[in-house]
Structure 1
Amino acid sequence: MNIKSQKDFFSGLMFMGVGGAFAWGATTYNVGEGARMGPGYFPLMLGILLALIGAAITFTSLVVEAEGGGKIGKWAWKPLFFIILANVVFGILLAGLPSIKLPAMGMIVAIYALTFIASMAETGWKFKTTFILATVLAIGSYLAFVVALKLQFPVWPEFITG
């Protein structure tokens, strides 16, 4: 077996693994059938589709020659760290952390924190650009989730809203 594109080969394996896990996890729910779908039907079909796409990508990586061999480079540790940290901080700020008595800071504060921390993954990030992006995301999220969808979750910190 001669791998002609390492990037495509390993991304195909990743898609097959995630798709297989979704499909397997969906079988714990009632799947139903096409005419009467159960709660597990959509995740099962999505998982199967993702696994099939992964199989196609993996097959292509073995058949089609890639320019430069499609070698995998070094791990980008800095962006990986900041993107994961941004998501963890977002979750903690949105819901709070009762074990250390940190109250929920709400959606607006969580979005600003998420945007600023994730922006640090980029080399040469600028405060003004990040602030504008965070403001647009906060306003858009408020309009989409609170105004349009009427979802009930904290928008502002608990110590402000009471």
Structure 2
Amino acid sequence: MAAINKADFSAGILFILFGAVFGLQCLGLEMGTTLRMGPGYFPAVLSVILLGLGAAIVVSSFGSIGEDVGNYAWRGMVFILAAPIFFGLTVRGLGFVPSIFLTTLIAALAGLKLKPLYAVALAVAVTIFCTLVFSVALGLPFRRFGPWLPF
């Protein structure tokens, strides 16, 4: 029986599953062309890339021995998944600045080694950087502070 690297095999299957989901999402959307992309173009390209990478990883997992898949980092998965969901749900109500700050703090909770003071410093730095890039430099039309705040 051939050796299988279980971690690589599992990762490849996840890539294939995500690629299939993106592929199914773009079926009913207009594709457009490379120069004039429709709403289905990017998900289709992403789907093909994920399916290809997944297949390559699955194939390369055969014939190599790797470490077993250990315990899952549930804490990390929960907070990393929660952060962009929180941002999407609050960016219009809280505004860009508070949402970015709180999203960064939520994502920082995923790590066990990050101290609270460093997490706050990171959140401040990311908030300043994102505000300068997206609001000032790119001039994207969003509210820095939203209607949910009293000021």
TM-score range, shorter chain: 0.7 to 0.9
Gaps of 5+ in 1: 96-103
Match of 1:55? 55
Match of 1:85? 82
Match of 2:106? 117
User: What CA distance in whole angstroms lies between the structure 1 residues aligned with 2:36 and 2:141?
Assistant: 30
What amino acid sits opposite 1:31 in the alignment? M
TM-score (norm 1): 0.78
What amino acid sits opposite 2:123 in the alignment? A
User: What CA distance in whole angstroms lies between the structure 2 residues aligned with 1:47 and 1:142?
Assistant: 31
Structure with greater contact order relative to length (CA < 8 Å, sep ≥ 6): 2
TM-score (norm 2): 0.83
User: What CA distance in whole angstroms lies between the structure 2 residues aligned with 1:88 and 1:24?
Assistant: 21
Q: Which has the larger radius of gyration?
A: 1
What is the aligned-residue RMSD (CA, Å)? 2.4
Gaps of 5+ in 2: none
- Cα shift readout 1:9-43 (whole Å, capped 9, x = no counterpart): 01111111111222232231223456775442332
The count of aligned residue pairs is 150
1:6 corresponds to 2:6: yes
User: What CA distance in whole angstroms lies between the structure 1 residues aligned with 2:95 and 2:54?
Assistant: 38
CA distance 1:135–1:37, change in 2 (3 Å): closer
